[in-house]
Amino acid sequence: MKKLVLTYWLTAMMVVAFAQQKETRKLSSFKGIKVSQAIDVYLKKGDKEEARIEIGPDSRLGLSDVLTDVSGATLRVHLDGGSWKRVDVKVYITYISLEKISASSAANVFADATIKCNSMEITASSAGSVEIAIDATSVTADASSAGRIELEGKTKSLDAEASSAGNVDAYSLESETVNAQASSAGSIKVVASKEIDAHASSGGDVRYRGNPSRTNTGSSSGGSVKKSN
């Protein structure tokens, strides 16, 4: 009986320990973030830069498998090694200022509040996604290979590009001037209040809202540029 009880408690302790894989790490200063390998990242502005790692109970990974390294003012959040089945990893990043966000290989990036900055560069590729609210003077958004970018907030200038089934949805981003280029089944949705330059080719699609005073649009090879309601 005692042996059974001991076995039970040892098993329970192992399950609890495994289920509670959490760690907070201090980070060097960074201005950009690159996330990959199916990791979910949640951004929050604060007065110190750090990362809180949480690994779900169904994941086969340990804390040492999740890497957070800063090089050249860019924070990379990725896994050690090439195998990343059953990832279930969430990383909560506290930043001071941010200018670049990149998500690839099925990684996802979210923000708990509007990111305020002068300029922001966003890329999503290989089924990666970025969903943020932003208040910036200029924004660049590039989605490729089934990458997805969803934006809300406001900016004076938006430069959007989508290719290879990439998707940029900026219907909730108030933009004054827009440059949109869609190709190879890429899709772009934007709002322009003053000016828009848009071109679509090879099955690319651009949809825009607003009443810009200047429009310059064109399409080729099955591409489509249309104003929508």
Q: Could you report the per-residue pLDDT of 141-170, keeping only the tens digit for each?
A: 999 999 999 999 999 999 999 999 999 999
pTM equals 0.90
Residue 85's pLDDT band, with cuts at 50, 70 and 90, is low
* CA-wise closest residue to 194 among 212, 171, 210: 212
* CA-wise closest residue to 206 among 190, 184, 222: 190
Q: Could you report the per-residue pLDDT of 21-45, keeping only the tens digit for each?
A: 999 999 999 999 999 999 999 999 9
Q: Read off the tokens for 34.
A: 């690159």
Give all domains of the chain, ordered by start, each with its CATH number: 21-108 (2.160.20.120), 114-224 (2.160.20.120)
Q: Which residue has the tokens 């009880």?
A: 5
> Can you tell me the mean pLDDT for 74-86?
83
Q: Could you report the per-residue pLDDT of 87-110, keeping only the tens digit for each?
A: 899 999 999 999 999 999 999 999
> Can you tell me the mean pLDDT for 40-60?
96
Query: What is the model's pLDDT at position 84?
Result: 63
pLDDT at 4 over 60: no
